[in-house]
Chain A
Amino acid sequence: AQKVTQAQTEISVVEKEDVTLDCVYETRDTTYYLFWYKQPPSGELVFLIRRNSFDEQNEISGRYSWNFQKSTSSFNFTITASQVVDSAVYFCALSTPNSGYALNFGKGTSLLVTP
């Protein structure tokens, strides 16, 4: 069975704080893909990152960074020096061959960044 857990339902931080959004996944497939999407109030899901199971290198893109740990089945997302524009719902998703590569989303974490 494929499952994605985002245990943090809501997080509130003050601007310039760092914040980490947790994502834990379950799958029996050895090949799989992990994604993060951002959903601002406008509604559109914005793609942030795609990572396959064979690439455990952490990635940094500006203020965004991702920590992939196969040993703990986690793919956490950190925003450094958060800004008000980072306020959104963030979704982690899992895709596996056995699911026909369909996206299996977590329930999302709502991030509020206040001035």
Chain B
Amino acid sequence: ETGVTQTPRHLVMGMTNKKSLKCEQHLGHNAMYWYKQSAKKPLELMFVYSLEERVENNSVPSRFSPECPNSSHLFLHLHTLQPEDSALYLCASSLTSGVEADTQYFGPGTRLTVL
């Protein structure tokens, strides 16, 4: 079983839709992350959760809303997105966050297309 899973793998949505991305980690980690990967751009860190509390929000627009109900699950709720939000959204987890440079393990990503 893979350590970090993401669903759905592909998502197409209109600008007025509301959808959610789901991430689950089976590694016993305490920190989870959302990254955005757009074409020709470096990976951008969006949100960091440590022990279910948000510790970092890198000036992400409010149309992206994260939720971390427990240390194994992470959601990204999407509403009224723009076409430029089309990207690969990657989830990652690590043992801790901000304490050590723990290795982050990534999921397969959700390929999002906003029409």
Contacts and interface: CB of A to CB of B under 8 A. Distances in A.
B56 A102 contact: yes
Interface residues of B, number: 25
Interface string B21-38: 000000000000000000
A47 B45 CA distance: 17
B106 A103 contact: no
B98 A100 contact: yes
A57 B90 CA distance: 31
Interface size class of A (residues with CB under 8 A): 20 to 34
B45 A102 contact: yes
A62 interface: no
A105 interface: yes
B60 interface: no
Given A50-B103, A101-B101, A107-B42, 8 more contacts: A33-B101, A42-B108, A44-B106, A44-B108, A101-B100, A102-B56, A105-B42, A108-B42
